[in-house]
Amino acid sequence: MQISALEVTRLLTTEKAVPAKRGKSKIEFAEIAPESLPKSLEPDAAEVARVVEMVKSAPDVRDDIVMQLKERIEKGEYNVSGEEIADMMIRRMKADRVR
């Protein structure tokens, strides 16, 4: 599962991360208005265009990462819990809502 830089940017401009209570690793989100962000955080058109081109030119599949993961799986060094998978699914759902 991948979350693009564009999705992260959209998420950060529409929602603000608030640390969970009691040191839990989960993140709760509270809505904020984009106009409340400082003007210095507004990207200029040239920078946005440059980032869009970088994203478009990036490969759909990162072979180097795929190979590293395959090796870790074969060695039995890659273990992901059901809770971690569910957490990533929820993050993805929140990012998709921003679109």
Is the CB of residue 44 less than 8 Å from the CB of residue 32? no
Q: What is the pLDDT of residue 18?
A: 46
State the burial class of residue 45 (Cβ atoms within 10 Å of its Cβ: 0-12, 13-18, 19+).
exposed
pLDDT digits (tens, 9 = 90+) for 13-51: 654 544 444 555 555 656 666 666 666 666 677 888 888
Q: What is the pLDDT of residue 41?
A: 62
Does the pLDDT at position 8 exceed 60?
yes
pTM of the model: 0.36
What total of structural domains would you count in the chain?
Answer: 1
Mean pLDDT of the chain: 76
More confident residue, 81 or 1: 81
Rg (CA), the chain: 17
DSSP 29: E
Q: What is the pLDDT of residue 60?
A: 85
